[in-house]
Every structure is written in C-alpha cells, then in structure tokens.
Amino acid sequence: MIEPKVFLVGESIVNSEGLNDFLKHIGAPKWVSTATSSAELLTEVYGRMCYKSFGTELNPNLTQVRPNNESYISNLLAKGDGSVLEHSVVNFFFCDVSRVFTHELVRHRVGTAISQESLRYVRLTDMDGYMPLCIQENEKAVSIFAKTFEELSNLQKEMAELFELDETNSFTEKKEFTSAMRRLAPIGLATNIGWSTNIRNLRHVIEMRTAPGAEEEIRLVFAKVAEIAIKRWPNLFSDYTSYDEGGIPVYTTSNIKV
C-alpha cells in the first residue's frame, strides 16, 4: 500500500516591472518590502493600497505605518482582513490519493480550480491505495485489504484481454471499454488530482481538514500541505500552531475571521 504525496508546483509571481510602475504612479517609487515570497508581497501591496499606507506622506490621515511585511501581515491576520489574501494563488498536485480523498476535496469549491486524472481515458492495471490506520493495526484486515486490491487489479487485466484492448489502435474503442471497466475499481483506488486555490481559502481548508473529526487521509494530506505552507509563506501562516491527534498533526489558528 502507498502513502499520499503533496507537490507544490506553482504560485503567483510578482511582475516587478508592473509593480514598480504602479508604485511610481501612486507616488511611492522608493517603497521596498521585506517580503521573501511573491504571495506575501502581493498580500502586502494589495492591503497597503487600500489605505495608501506605503508611507505616511501619501495619506494625511496616517501618522505611522507598519514597518515591514511580517508586522503588516500579522496585523492583517489579527484584524481578520482576509480579502487581500485572495489575490495570491498557489498550485498543488496531490498524488497517490484515493477517490475517497478527492470526493472530500471537491466539496471545497470556492476559490479553487481542480483537474483530476480521468479513468475514462487512463486504463487501470496494477491498483494500489492508502491503507487507513485502523486496518494497518489488524493483521487479518491488512490481508483482506491487499487481497481485494490484487483481485480487482487482475479483473482489470482480464477485461482488457477479453476486449483485446492491446490489439486495437482505435482510441475511441479503448476509451469506451476503459470507461466501462472503471466500474470495477474501488473508491480507495490511488489517483492524482491537481488543486489550485488562493491563500485565504488554503488557510480555511488546512484548519477544516486537519481537524480531528475530518477523514483520516485528507487529514494526512493537509497536514503535509500545512507543513509546506508554513515553510514557504511563514508570514501568511505565522499564526498557526499544531498538536498531535492520533499520529497526525492538527493545525489551528485563533484568527478564525480570516
């Protein structure tokens, strides 16, 4: 059996030329951020734009401004100004995850884009999947789990031989039978799915899906996501703390309004 994997494959990147032109236009050509990532820089720029808080000289109502990216974003999070976190988008691939997982993931539709491996086109052969801890802890259950995957894999191969799919060059014919044969595949089958979302929603899903009451596999995956996010965008996730529950980290924040 296999374990789910998480890959961060992309994120919003600042167009430095355009940003510099914008800063000149509003009268802050010398403003510089201490942000170490585009996601944190974009969050700060969009937030400061709302109040023209690139310095005290642009808005006569201001007598002081937050001095750096860390303090600025920390204040945003504390106030619950989550809307500016929606400007940065990040892109993940979740691999070797089950369709149990993907059925849970697609419930989070707001602020996301999803592309899933199609079993209408991708013919199954040797199937595998994540084995939940309660099954791993029971020797007989492990045997049943492994035997079932083996038998279902063999059925896929038998069906492919029956319909002579390796003997035809017709992709239309292969697609028809592949689509039909997937009905013999378990929901626990390992697959791949691409998921993109903005930072605000990412924070929400991490907290929702690492919670103790969430399904085990999605907890495991989003604990991995949280680890990546905290390391990659430390200022945007500086308010998160974690504790262990059943061998899987639970990530929480007091800034629930964000």
Span 125-184, pLDDT tens digits? 999 999 999 999 999 999 999 999 999 999 999 999 999 999 999 999 999 999 999 999
Same domain, 20 and 78: yes
What pTM value is reported for the model? 0.94
17-75: pLDDT as tens digits: 999 999 999 999 999 999 999 999 999 999 999 999 999 999 999 999 999 999 999 99
In a domain, 240, yes or no: no
86-135: pLDDT as tens digits: 999 999 999 999 999 999 999 998 889 999 999 999 999 999 999 999 99
Same domain, 64 and 22: yes
Q: SS3 of 180, please?
A: helix
In a domain, 35, yes or no: yes
Query: CA-to-CA distance for 227 and 101, rounded, in angstroms?
Result: 19
The count of domains in the chain is 2
By residue range, what is the domain housing residue 54?
A: 13-86
Select from 166, 184, 202 the last residue of a domain. Answer: 184
21 in the Ramachandran plot: left (φ > 0), alpha (ψ -120 to 50) or beta? alpha
In a domain, 59, yes or no: yes
In a domain, 40, yes or no: yes
In a domain, 21, yes or no: yes
Same domain, 128 and 73: no
In a domain, 18, yes or no: yes
Same domain, 17 and 81: yes
Query: CA-to-CA distance for 101 and 114, rounded, in angstroms?
Result: 13
In a domain, 62, yes or no: yes
Q: Are 107 and 27 in contact (CB under 8 A)?
A: no
In a domain, 223, yes or no: no
232-245: pLDDT as tens digits: 999 999 999 999 99
Query: CA-to-CA distance for 120 and 124, rounded, in angstroms?
Result: 10
DSSP 177: H
